[in-house]
Amino acid sequence: MKKEGAGSRILPDASPAGLLGYGALWAFFIVFLIYPLIRLFYDSFTTDEGVFTLANFHSFFTDAFYLRSLMNSMLLGVGTVITTSIIGIAIAFLLLRYDFPGRRLFSYLTIIPMIMPPLVGVMGFVFILGRAGTVNVILQDYCGFQQPVNFMYGIHGVLLVETLHLFPLMTLSIVDAMGKISPSLDEAAESVGSRGLRKFFDITFPLTTPGYVTGALLVFIWTFADFATPLVVGIDDLLASQAYLNIVQFVDRRLFKMGIVISAIMVILAILFLIIAKKYVSIKDYSSLSYTQIERKRLSTPLQAGAVAFLSFILVFAFIPYFGIALDSFGKGWALTPIPVKYTLQYFERVSVETPKFILNSLLYSAISVMICIAVGVPVAWAMLRTRLPGREVLDSLTTLILALPGTGIGIAYMRAFREPFPFMSIALIGLWVVIPIVLAVRRLPYTVRGTFSSLLIVHRSFEEAAESVGATKMKTFRDVTLPLIWKGVLTGSLYSFILALQEASATLLLVVPGHEMMTVGIFNFYIGGSVNEAAALGFILIILGAACLFLINRLAGSKMGGVFG
């Protein structure tokens, strides 16, 4: 309350109701983001008795195994950034600059691989490329191979899965950034003789850097925080896997503590990366929606064929998990044959008709989380752009920080922070189902904020000033003038949050509340419970849901494919 008092002295024209709302925003951030993180750090810097200590960090940095895990995680992250950059940039260039048959179809298909719930992707890959997957069975039964080829088991398998899952993120970021380069700049460069690679390094590269860095950061953090994929292919010397394995075992208190410490280290590293990349990923830098129509060059026939072949090649690989999941969700007793021999619908029946809770909970919680995202995210974006309230830059930094926070870290922070009941309440937040939509909302908030922010930018200030000049309050103006103009952008951002909320499976896996499991938790539980077919069926349904949302986004955002990135 003190803050608001101070606020009204700084901003005498702000209404008390508005300030109260702004205070509520801050309260949300403090309770659900800042406090859990502080609690995580507190726990990692103290003993179980609450005495300050550096011993936890000392034992991390003197343990060869943890250091190797840290190293491996960094290498894997960097490796994935490199591979996704190569594929992502190539695709972005082809789609934006050149015309060839099927370009529109490809521009839709190349985003699809992003819809891949954790675990489902790697499962699908193992069904096709595993030691007993379709490819190896064919190689051994028909091509005379004595031993299966090891495509999956090892760090290279993780790299493969992450690359083919995350390259669309890179494509989208680049498309978004390149869409903002005016063709006149290109022409100017060419007129003074800068062509080809030279032009790329002179013009295109510097101008796309902010978008690229953001994409790279997202890819890096995603890989860095994923613990499900490595576990399936038998890799556990990675930081996220160690955090997860140490936390979910409670037997050895020392290991449990190390799980907390590892999460804290992951969060610290994420913050560090963010500071390094800060120059580029500040929200203002890539919020423009002023897309310019880019003139596409028509490729010569052989080059056209080349472009189509390249894109098809990547897509075939990226769609491998979909084939695998589809086959396994319908196939019964599939082992050591190229495709299943018997087919059934029983797995779909089991995960939808018999236990509909997974699908229902997923839809419900994701919807609630999107509503929270809108309730918090839209005002945040509006406050950043339309007010001079103190602390709004901090809100900007906090939203960007969320983007960089590994889900494992947030999940563990919540576990520690909300274990004890709230003041005046008899029950702790952990164990109540509301914790799930809340953590989902916090994790997906940046997409809504960004979507709203960029939509707000193109609403000319004069519209609002006109309304205010005839006596409308800021609130009323927002509701009657601004909102009708930006709803499309907000909706796109929200749908995007929705897809990603549906697929979240790092924080929610750690915070699972019995009886309130979401689909991703169901997939994980079915998988580790040995019911791989049910896991596949649930995954299949989730992929279809995601694809439907993506289609809707594509319709809403129109040709501006990158618009979804705000």
Residues that bind another protein (CB under 8 A): 64-65, 126, 130-132, 153, 231-234, 236-237, 245, 248-252, 256, 332-336, 342, 431, 512, 514-515, 525-533
Please, which residue, 306 or 338, has the CB nearer to another protein?
Answer: 338
- Which amino acid, 134? T
Could you tell me the CA-to-CA distances from 425 to 38, 411, 421, 428 in Å, in that order?
A: 22, 22, 6, 8
Smallest distance from another protein to CB 427, Å: 10
Smallest distance from another protein to CB 265, Å: 19
Which two structure tokens, joined as six digits, stand for 130?
Answer: 């595993």
Half-sphere exposure of 383 (CA within 13 A, CB side): 25
Please, which residue, 8 or 140, has the CB nearer to another protein?
Answer: 140
User: Are the C-beta atoms of residues 274 and 76 closer than 8 Å to each other?
Assistant: no
Smallest distance from another protein to CB 130, Å: 5
454-468 b/e with 16+ CB inside 10 Å = b? bbbbebeeeebeebe
Which DSSP state fits 295? P
Smallest distance from another protein to CB 187, Å: 55
What is the 3-class SS of 221-269, one letter each residue?
A: HHHHHCCHHHHHCCCCCCHHHHHHHHHHCCCCHHHHHHHHHHHHHHHHH
280-289 b/e with 16+ CB inside 10 Å = b? bbbbeebbeb
Please, which residue, 168 or 230, has the CB nearer to another protein?
Answer: 230
Please, which residue, 154 or 391, has the CB nearer to another protein?
Answer: 154
Which two structure tokens, joined as six digits, stand for 419?
Answer: 């274990």
Smallest distance from another protein to CB 401, Å: 29
Smallest distance from another protein to CB 232, Å: 8
Smallest distance from another protein to CB 320, Å: 16
Which DSSP state fits 562? G
Half-sphere exposure of 384 (CA within 13 A, CB side): 26
Identify the helix (H) or strand (E) that includes residue 296.
none
Question: For helices 357-386 and 435-457, what crossing angle results, to 10°?
Answer: 40
Please, which residue, 134 or 477, has the CB nearer to another protein?
Answer: 134
User: Are the C-beta atoms of residues 538 and 474 closer than 8 Å to each other?
Assistant: no
Please, which residue, 205 or 250, has the CB nearer to another protein?
Answer: 250
Please, which residue, 252 or 393, has the CB nearer to another protein?
Answer: 252
C-alpha–C-alpha distance, residues 314 and 235, integer Å: 25
Smallest distance from another protein to CB 355, Å: 9
Please, which residue, 342 or 555, has the CB nearer to another protein?
Answer: 342
Q: Is the dihedral of CA 168, 173, 176, 179 positive or negative?
A: negative
